[in-house]
A and B are shown apart, each in its own frame.
Chain A
Amino acid sequence: MLKMLVYTNIKTRLRSFFIEIGELSYFTLRFLKEVFKAPIEFKEIIRQCFYMGNRSLLLVGITGFIIGLVLTLQTRPTLMEFGAVSWMPSMVGISIVREIGPIITALVCAGRIGSGIGAELGSMRVTEQIDAMEVSGTNPFKYLVVTRVLAVTLMLPLLVIIGDAVALFGSFLVESVKGNVSFTLFFNQVFSSLEFGDIIPATIKSFFFGFAIGIVGCFKGYYCSKGTVGVGIAANSAVVFTSLLLFIIDFIAVFVTDIFYDL
């Protein structure tokens, strides 16, 4: 009896998961179809870019700074043990630019921007604002979804660059206090160890991270139901689903980059 109940439960959950994946794929296809159609809502895209960038800047900066500090403090003793403390700027530079910067920034933005989009569109749905927009002759998908997804996709790489820069600065502060390393020496070592092969994949990956945050947040909010409770669910599930998706995209990106390195 219990076995049957567990089996039915798993079956129902898997079914609804795959239905959701199907609906999200359809939503993404609709985005790709609508994004190239006129009219392009330039003003709204710029407004959303400013809003999203501005709203996340401080959080991304603080998180990046702390990550830089912690990473350097935690790694320093081990590198000292091996007499390799001079490698610190290179090690921190590569790990931040290649991996830690993009993924941490994306996770912070998933919490900040993704949940915000989910809640905003969700509340617009339950208070009939999206219907009002449609009745007034506006395509709400184009005005609300396309603009937000484009804005996050464009802004996330910029936020990643800022987050990386602040993280490296945090790392430099630790190095300057503990190892008496000058600003020029630290950043010379950072940049001499970085190659285009580190920067380009990380930047491309950031665009995909941004797209994932935008599309999932919009999807959850746009199809929100069940009143105000639904708004909370939309915001929450947008963050959970996006976080999972970010790690999957990251894995694929690392896998693909690895193939290119081997060539």
Chain B
Amino acid sequence: MTINKNISTKEVVLEIKDLYKSFGDNHVLNGFSLKLHQGENLVIMGKSGSGKSVMIKCLVGLMEADSGTISIMDKDITKLTQEALDILRADIGFLFQGSALYDSMTVRENLEFPLRRHSKKMGDHINTTELVVEALENVGLADAIDLMPSELSGGMKRRVALARTLILKPKVILYDEPTSGLDPITSKEIIILMQEIQKKYRTASLIITHDVDCARVISDKMILLIDGTDYAIGTFKELSASNDPKIKAFFKQDL
């Protein structure tokens, strides 16, 4: 169900066509499709277990889809060699639900890790310390540079993870539940940070969430993932005004 096709003239940076993924008899994705344009914030909402995380993992090649095409910056990731996929991954930032900071490394080492891996993209003469400090300043945590992840709070971990995602200056950022497990104040801070980053770097963002406030504030466009399909597409305003009971269920906050 497409409420507003909202045809954009901006360049498409990420496109999924008819994605199918099953685990045995459990058909998680049943022909899911989406288009993400340059500089756009696209929010995907769906119930827990609806396949949002599976979809985002298929996007970065962590899972293999059963069928369908995924193209990122005009490259079909299902047909790329491992080496080509690794090069493309430098242009894709991924913020994990649980932050996924490397426990055995300090904040500095966590941020340096992707830089070392992608030294070709960043140039051989990069000043890693300068880039690490800049990324940490962007998330307001320059003082935490020598701390271990175990010394950080949940919100700080999410910020450091965001800094690690940003350090390679990706063109597309994928957020997997960026505010889950955080208190309302920290959630708000993270949302504001995401907006600032989007403004500063003009990245395209794909945000998976079931936080309605997050979707309202940050989304340019939304997709509701229901029964493994892109059930409804539109702006927050359009979708929240829908009379379809399946759509209404997402926006109805009272018990």
Chain B residues closer than 8 Å to A136, beta-carbon distance: 89, 113-114, 117-118
A137 & B97 in contact (Cβ 8 Å cutoff)? no
Q: Which 3 A-B pairs have the closest CB atoms?
A: A132-B100, A137-B86, A136-B114
| Contacting residues of chain B (87-140) with chain A, CB-CB under 8 angstroms | 87, 89-90, 92, 94, 96-98, 100-104, 113-114, 117-118
A128 & B60 in contact (Cβ 8 Å cutoff)? no
Give me 15 A-to-B residue pairs in the complex whose CB atoms sit less than 8 angstroms apart, sorted by A's number.
Answer: A120-B104, A128-B97, A128-B98, A131-B57, A131-B62, A131-B96, A132-B101, A132-B102, A133-B102, A134-B61, A135-B62, A136-B113, A137-B89, A138-B113, A139-B86
B96 & A132 in contact (Cβ 8 Å cutoff)? yes
Whose C-beta in chain B lies nearest to the C-beta of A39? B117
Known: A136-B89, A137-B117, A138-B117. A129 touches B103 (CB 8 A): yes
- Complex Cα gap A251–B100 (Å): 43
Most buried by B among A129, A131, A133, A134: A129
| Contacting residues of chain A (123-175) with chain B, CB-CB under 8 angstroms | 123-124, 127-129, 131-139
Chain B residues closer than 8 Å to A128, beta-carbon distance: 96-98, 100
What is the interface of chain A, defined by CB distance below 8 A to chain B? 120, 123-124, 127-129, 131-139
Chain B residues closer than 8 Å to A120, beta-carbon distance: 104
- Complex Cα gap A134–B82 (Å): 11
B103 & A134 in contact (Cβ 8 Å cutoff)? no
- Complex Cα gap A129–B161 (Å): 11
Tally chain B residues at the interface, Cβ within 8 Å. Answer: 23
A131 & B89 in contact (Cβ 8 Å cutoff)? no
Most buried by B among A120, A129, A131, A132: A132
Known: A131-B62, A132-B94. A137 touches B100 (CB 8 A): no
Whose C-beta in chain B lies nearest to the C-beta of A51? B104
* A226 vs chain B, min Cβ distance (A): 16
| Contacting residues of chain B (64-95) with chain A, CB-CB under 8 angstroms | 82, 86-87, 89-90, 92, 94
Chain A residues closer than 8 Å to B90, beta-carbon distance: 137
- Complex Cα gap A181–B105 (Å): 51
Chain B residues closer than 8 Å to A124, beta-carbon distance: 102-103
- Complex Cα gap A123–B98 (Å): 12
Contacts A132-B94, A137-B87, A137-B89 known; 9 new A-B pairs at CB < 8 A: A128-B98, A129-B100, A134-B61, A134-B62, A135-B94, A136-B89, A137-B117, A138-B86, A138-B117
Q: Given B61, B96, B101, B103, which contacts A123 in the complex, CB threshold below 8 Å?
A: B103
Chain A residues closer than 8 Å to B87, beta-carbon distance: 137
Whose C-beta in chain A lies nearest to the C-beta of B53? A128
Chain A residues closer than 8 Å to B100, beta-carbon distance: 127-129, 131-132
Chain A residues closer than 8 Å to B104, beta-carbon distance: 120
Chain A residues closer than 8 Å to B96, beta-carbon distance: 128, 131-132
